[in-house]
Structure 1
Amino acid sequence: MNILVVDDSRTMRDLVSRELRKDGYDVETSEDGVDALDKIGSFSPAVIITDLNMPRMDGLELTKALRARAETKYVPIIFLTTESGDELRRAAREAGATGWIVKPFDGPKLLAAVRRVSS
């Protein structure tokens, strides 16, 4: 299964990717929403994991853009962010987010969330 990891931190992209690959997932990474939208067509992710705060296009804008596209309208989107406020969670849910995980993340919890949204 393909998973797209979107985060402006190379370290975070590497950590999340390593955890997912250990569990057998195919992973592509993007540094922000603009980069993610460029890669979507050739990668066709089954799940998208995105940070909230990123340059050029943040996670909320990315989620809205993904929900507006036929090919990604129903792809599960999990936010992986340092933010934990209820307002931001509500905004993400309204934009179309499927899940929310607060950094630092726990590997088994991340994998459980991916399995939950992709089943």
Structure 2
Amino acid sequence: MKIHEPILRDILDLQAILLNEIIDEAAAAERNLADAFGETTRTEGDLNALVSIREEAQDSYRRMSSLMSNIASSPARTAVDSMRLLRQAYLRTGERIAPAIRSIQEVKIAWQLP
């Protein structure tokens, strides 16, 4: 079953945001924080928050990729269920983008990270 082009484009755009604005930024902030201040009790909470943000974004990215692959290779009757799950994953991920970006920015500001 083919995913309609506008829907596919929206999902791929969301995945690009996950990669560039969350996964990459959280990983960079995590590295910068650990390099500048070490892994101490003082930095532990923010380091854990950044890891959690990054891992959640990676899970969302993988979930949507897996569902798209399942849709493309499944018969129409089973692909419909995967489409419903993909829509839910897309909506849930979209709701989490702004808070994740905000959380990364807050850590960067608090520690004066690049």
Classify the TM-score, shorter chain: under 0.3
- Greater Rg by CA: 2
TM-score normalised over the length of structure 1: 0.25
Q: Which fold has the larger relative contact order, with Cα–Cα distance below 8 Å and residues 6 or more apart in sequence?
A: 2
TM-score normalised over the length of structure 2: 0.26
More strand by share: 1
